[in-house]
Structure 1
Amino acid sequence: MTLPSTPPRRIVIIGGVAGGMSAATRLRRLDESLDIVVVERTNHVSYANCGLPYYVGGVITERQSLLLQTPASLGARFRLDVRVATEVTAIDPDQRVVTLRAITDGVESTLGYDELVLSPGARPVVPPIPGIERALALRSVEDTDRLSSAVALATGATAGPATAVVIGGGFIGLEVAENLAHRGMRVSLVEATDQVMAPLDPEMAAIVHARLRDQGVDLHLSDAVTSISEHRVELASGASLPADLVVAAIGVRPETALATAAGVALGPRGGIAVDEHFATNVEHVWAIGDAVEKIDGLTAEHTLVPLANTANRQGRVLADVLCGRSGKDRPTLGTAIVSVFGLTVAVTGLNEKRLRAAGRPVRVIHTHPASHASYYPGAETMSIKLLVDPDTDAILGAQAVGGDGVDKRIDVIATAIAGGLTASDLADLELAYAPPYGSAKDPVNMLGYVDQNLATGLTRSIQWHELADAMAAGEAVIDVRTEGEFAAGAIPGAINLPLDELRERLTELPEGPLVVHCAVGVRGHAAARLLAEHGRESRNLDGGYKTWVVSPAATSIALAS
């Protein structure tokens, strides 16, 4: 007598791309016996999502290069049952059954599961603006095809350059704006807040604003779209922008409708709530990726971080959990990077805005080092900002804007945060050095040196946004740059006493406390130490004139004059 065989354990995954496909392929590598079904409502289950803007811009020329795997290739290599153009319309957690609907013909069917993985991603924010239906999004390959076709039509329809309006100044908005400009379009970018890239602090975002304007982008900050017509976009400020093409890149929200209908609980930020092993409150239902809430690695608060790296890792770890291996989620630092017309912008951890809003004390350090040894050809200046807990010396976050080398400095700092290193520990890191790649004192080491000086009280600093109040209170500003540098641009009211002459001209210093500064802070530090040795109290303007001149403080003075 032949006994009936036990059917294989079936795991159904809703949603492919980063999280879903990482889970599916890892599951197969761990367990050959599993029945793995991936359900994806678009026509593409595995593609390079982050490369989509660059295909629109013509930087990536082959559409096929974005398509990493197909249902056929995934079936051949991993024996996965991948069903594209198929939507899950309902989940019955009691019966452990999902209802499927084919997008092409609407035919419905049901599919049982032993374990269900939700990886539905996030959906674009679409505000109720008259005419918003004209705006295109960029989340999927289908979106990319529509946008590429619209760009080709717009640029081919007129003798002169076509016009585009991008709504939203986040990562995707900036990438889209750059790539539309690369296609020869005249681009306007509208952002409702007073800066692009919310993770940046204002003085760092100002560098990005300058690059956008230098590249011809018509930047509208602190403004909002009120209506969209066939060829124009109207703003709350009264501005009317030409728009053969409109792209909405306002942000994304977790895709949670299917989950909530099945009784899955959401967290305080509106994403799917999961424990450290990605289990939801519904038995046998798990969730990963952009749809789920994460834990901030520095505040322990719930947060939403729609990043591919995080989704990929979550899919891999969940596969381990489902196969009985150890694994749990990690807190997130929100480490991210974007290219803006050749300018690299990278962040990790918290920014000063969030820290100040939370009432947390913070030590702030700005530096402007060269990307590699300055005497080696091609060195570029970068701007780095480090945020430190003044009580514990813990690194709270960092931002960097510049050219070559920005990525590796932020990655080193993100790794230092994850490893529990203090800001002073950065001084002692042994980092690879050769003139084409760095300096003997790497920019990361320099951050540690500055922190050590501040932490031990060897020197004191003052921030760009504190300078006006200090001057109003009677503190004199001493500019220790050369006379030529001073003549080319200076802080109003500053006194020029070049560093190399300062020792002999101490009698010319005003009475009372002083603020000293140079171009980037290095000579300012030397001046502050010289003055301390002669019994004079001073503070060094953090980041020097280079930080101050791009800040809102300098902008307000320019507007007033």
Structure 2
Amino acid sequence: MRTVIIGGVAGGMSAATRLRRLDETMDIVILEKGPYVSFANCGLPYYVSGEISERDDLLVQTPEKLKARFNLDVRPFSEAVAIDASNKTVSVSHVDATYELTYDKLILSPGAKPFIPPFEGIDEADSVFTLRNVPDVDKIMTNIDNQKPKKAVVIGAGFIGLEMAENLVHRGIEVTIVEMAPHVLPTVDSEMASFITNELVANGLNVLTEKSVVSFKNQGKTLILNTGESIETDLVILSVGVRPENELAQSAGIKLGMRGGILVDASYETSVKDIYAVGDAIIVTNQITNEDTMIALASPANRQGRQVADVIAGMKRTNRGSIGTAIVRVFNQTIASTGLTERQLEKLGYDFQVVHVDGKNHAGYYPNASMIFLKLLFNPKTGEIYGAQAVGADGVDKRIDILATAIKGKLTVEDLPELELTYVPPFGSAKDVVNMAGYAALNIIENITQTIQLHELEDVKKTGAYLVDVRTKKEFAKGSIPGFINLPLNELREKMNEIPKDKEIILSCHSGQRSYIASRMLAQYDYNVKNLDGSYLLYQAINENKK
């Protein structure tokens, strides 16, 4: 039996090695149109700066090593140009010659390709690059080494765009980011992205949001924006998203779905018998909404590759879908997310609530403790966890991994305080920020407290709400949200008579913890009170770089 795999990275190579472990006699052929298989594409930006110093470290495996260990027939520079499903053959182009390769089972793992908008003048631009594979990074490195650019523009502020921006700065290049969306990292919510914008600006980057490039002038050295502004640059990185590599599948009569993604069933089989597909090019089920989605991430692709190998080997495996868990480091801050965002939930019309909590990556009294700011989205009736986002200098990965596991395991917010997480001062806290998020969410579900979000504040101001900041006088003097008066928490009982009972009371502090205490106090004296979720910490992050 012969299984042919088209695409030798992530999903394709996971399928190949798993198949060999399950069947020593199978003929396994991997076709890769590029020069390399099994390379570390997620590590490419860090090679640009020298953080990954050796190019060979990006090459995880070679055809020779894969042959020796797994007896795989790996064929680089071999592009599958046509599939004849009726006769079960693949036409392969290699060094100006084409040959036919028969198969019993065929796995498509073509991945995705960078989307290149039809900018006016882009065809005449000399120094415009995308980053998806090793040849791409080679071109960028050659340009940097030979042309020695002083200025660069990164178009698109997604994960790859921000990674490239950071690593270009580490090369001593002045970087401008242009993002069409209202904020960087459009895959997270705006207030969480504010922390990353602040980190970019603090490291000298020029961040332009709600702006887009419309044309290239002067051989790509001058970029014209939709506002009429122009930017001079020596180097351009295009990072505006990816599109599935679907041409081969389409030509074979395989059904496509949203955004041209390849449709597969629960066993990864396409609409054509004995042809399977995995990785960035396929449509998967979002495990939270049960709707079709596309998730171009390495971890799901590797899992899918292993599972499709199991299916072909006769084992029962089901594609359960994905929730989209991702992380990116931006200088000294890290931001990660899992599940659905607030914007997605609003679009879906879901009933949901939000809590923001802050905590430390480890015990606050232990040296070098740093803040983690976490956002949790959940169903206020059932406690189902819809999503989470976190930002901080250290420990963000652990917390989002925990919450991603909770979503996959169908835990609710009621389970989060029950999680027994490791604690010793260098590594955690006795009440981890994940536990605290669960407590805060339960307080809302059980109507122990009521909250409002920062974006709702202007509306409640118009209704005549009374705004109280319970931080210390010293904290309040350093900065406050307009409209709030200062009544420190420790003086609140003595000065309670200064607070009107005929108005809605909105309480704020640094992050919402002390104002929660104040809200419980006032509620028991029959005040109509709400806690401002995220409080001044969130307000400050959002407004730090506003003119």
TM tier, smaller: over 0.9
Report how far residue 75 of structure 1 moved: 0.8
Q: Distance in 1 between matches of 2:137 and 2:473?
A: 54
CA deviation after TM superposition for structure 1 residue 427, in Å? 0.8
Question: 2:458 maps to what in 1?
Answer: 468
TM-score (norm. length: structure 1): 0.95
1:203 and 2:194 matched:
no
Tell me how far apart the structure 2 counterparts of residues 358 and 448 of structure 1 sit (CA, whole Å).
24
Deviation at 1:238, TM superposition (A): 2.1
Aligned equivalents of 1:378, 1:424: Cα separation in 2: 31
Tell me which residue corresponds to 1:225.
213
Is residue 46 of structure 2 the alignment partner of residue 58 of structure 1? no
Equivalent runs, 1:342-361 vs 2, <5 Å: 342-361=332-351
Aligned-residue offset at 1:239: 2.1
Deviation per residue, 1:363-396 (Å, 9 max, x gap): 1000121111111000111210000111211000
Equivalence for 1:5: none
The answer to whether 1:138 aligns with 2:126 is: no
Unaligned runs of 5+ in 2: none
Instruction: Tell whether 2:38 aligns with 1:46.
Output: yes
**1:380-529 maps to which residues of 2 (within 5 A)?**
380-510=370-500, 511-529=502-520
**C-alpha contact 2:198 2:544 (8 A) present in aligned 1:** no
Indicate whether 1:234 and 2:224 are aligned.
yes
| SS at 2:495 equivalent | helix
Which residue does 1:538 correspond to in 2?
529
Q: What is the aligned partner in structure 1 of residue 177 from structure 2?
A: 189
What's the CA shift string for 1:43-69, capped at 9, x where partnerless?
A: 001111100010011110000011011
Q: Secondary structure of 1:68's match?
A: coil
Cα distance, 1:197 vs. partner? 1.1
Partner of 2:155: 167
Partner of 2:241: 251
Instruction: Please tell me whether the aligned partners of residues 255 and 291 of structure 1 are also in contact (alpha carbons under 8 angstroms).
Output: yes
**CA-atom RMSD, angstroms?**
1.2
**Residue in 2 aligned with 1:3?**
none
Matched, 1:179 2:167: yes
- Secondary structure of the corresponding residue to residue 119 of structure 2: coil
Code of the aligned partner of 2:248? L
Which residue number in structure 2 is paired with residue 97 of structure 1? 89
Amino acid at match of 2:538: T
* 1:253-268 equivalence runs, <5 A: 253-268=243-258
Query: Counterparts of 1:522 and 1:193 in 2: how far apart (Å)?
Result: 32
- Normalising by structure 2, we get a TM-score of 0.97
Q: Write the letter of the residue equivalent to 1:225.
A: V
Give, as a single letter, the amino acid of the residue that structure 1 aligns with 2:481. I
Which residue of the partner structure matches residue 4 of structure 1? none
Q: Quick check: 1:234–1:241 contact (8 Å CA) kept in 2?
A: yes
Q: Which amino acid letter does the alignment assign opposite residue 465 of structure 2?
A: E
Q: Where do 1:286-365 residues align within 5 Å? A: 286-365=276-355
Counterpart selection for 2:145 from 144, 152, 165: 152
Give the drift of 1:492: 1.1
TM-superposed CA distance for 1:131, in Å, is 3.0
Alpha-carbon deviations, 1:180-237, whole Å to 9, x = none?
1110000011111111112211111111111111111111101111112332222112
What does residue 33 of structure 1 align with?
Answer: 25
Equivalenced residue count is 541
> 1:163, CA displacement in angstroms?
0.6
Paired with 2:383 and 2:60, the residues of 1 have a C-alpha distance of: 43
1:76 aligns with 2:76: no
The alpha-carbon deviation at position 243 of structure 1 amounts to 1.2
* 1:6 counterpart residue number: none
Contact 1:99 1:109 in 2 (8 A): yes
- CA deviation string 1:294-349 (max 9, x = no partner): 11011111111000001100000000000001111122110000101121110000
Question: Helix, strand or coil: the match of 1:365?
Answer: strand
Q: Secondary structure at the match of 1:401?
A: strand
SS in structure 2 opposite 1:298? Answer: coil
Q: Distance in 1 between the 2:511 and 2:486 partners?
A: 16
TM-superposed deviation, 1:130: 2.0
Compare 279-288 and 234-243 and name the one that shifted more.
234-243
CA deviation after TM superposition for structure 1 residue 523, in Å: 0.5
The one-letter code sitting in structure 2 at the alignment partner of 1:202 is: S
1:22 and 2:10 correspond? no
Residue identity matched to 2:353: R
Measured against aligned partners, the alpha-carbon deviations of 1:65-111 in whole angstroms (never above 9, x if no partner) come to 11011111111111111110111110000010111111xx3111111
Deviation digits for residues 264-284 of structure 1 (CA, Å, limit 9, x no counterpart) = 001234200000100001011
| Distance in 2 of aligned mates of 1:436 and 1:496 | 36
Q: Is the 8 A contact 2:380 2:444 kept in 1?
A: no
What secondary structure, in the 3-state scheme, does the structure 2 residue paired with 1:337 have?
strand
Q: Contact (CA 8 Å) 1:269, 1:293: kept in 2 or not?
A: no
CA contact (8 A) 2:285 2:292 kept: yes
Separation of aligned partners in 2, 1:243 and 1:40:
35
> What per-residue deviation string (whole Å, max 9, x for no partner) do you get for residues 243-266 of structure 1?
111111111011100001000001
